[in-house]
Amino acid sequence: MRTALTVLLLSTLTLTACQTRLNPFNWFGSDREVQAVKDAVEAGEANPLVPNSSNTNKGIFSKKPAPVYAGTLIAQVKSVQVLRVTEGALIEAVGVSNVHGVHSLKLDPQNDGKPVNGVLTYSFLAVHPKGGFTGGPEQSREVTVAHVVTSAQLSGVRTIRVVAAQNARETRR
């Protein structure tokens, strides 16, 4: 048994090191150019394995459309800080709402996330509860949100601005 196991192990190691067809890592070979799928569809040859986008009958496992975000501007922005991360930058904004219990915070990029005259602008949004409790100390209504921006999105940006209902804050490079 020990001898058979040793022979099997040595032959496996030998085959994986060589460049023959016996090597399981070489079974699929290299890539090659093939006809594009859109050319086949344009010629009237649709792939029967790919469902039509016009298929109206939905199954129970089909994706549902994303719900509409119901956030509105938060009352005011208290601070904005930009931190370096591996992807680019992390924009952290602290704000104060008028009511307690705001949730689903979001920094929504304006102008499709493109800087205008070197200024990248975000709206500080939150979903406010219906009939929320107003008043109380400011610290109990304080919320924080963060948003990651890639290095490519930061090219040409000198200023990052976060806008709220009552004020706006910005930070410069």
DSSP state of 26: G
How much is the average pLDDT of 152-165?
90
Please name the residue that has the structure tokens 């930070």: 171
Asked whether the predicted pLDDT for residue 39 surpasses 50, the reply is no
Task: Give residue 18's pLDDT.
Answer: 67
Q: Count H helices, E strands: the chain?
A: 2, 8
How much is the average pLDDT of 42-63?
62
Q: Fill in the amino acid letter for 58.
A: K
Asked whether the predicted pLDDT for residue 58 surpasses 90, the reply is no
Please name the residue that has the structure tokens 């089909």: 62
In the chain, what percentage of residues exceed pLDDT 70? 73
Q: Is 44 left (phi over 0), alpha (psi -120 to 50) or beta?
A: left
Question: In this structure, what are the phi and psi dihedrals at residue 134, rounded to the nearest 5 degrees?
Answer: -100, 165
The more confidently predicted of residues 47 and 73 is 73
Give 49's contacts (C-beta < 8 A, 6+ positions apart).
Answer: none
Q: Which of 71, 62, 65, 60 is nearest to 128 (CA)?
A: 71
Residue ranges per structural domain of the chain: 72-172
Task: Give residue 48's pLDDT.
Answer: 64
Average pLDDT of every residue of the chain: 80
Q: Fill in the amino acid letter for 166.
A: Q
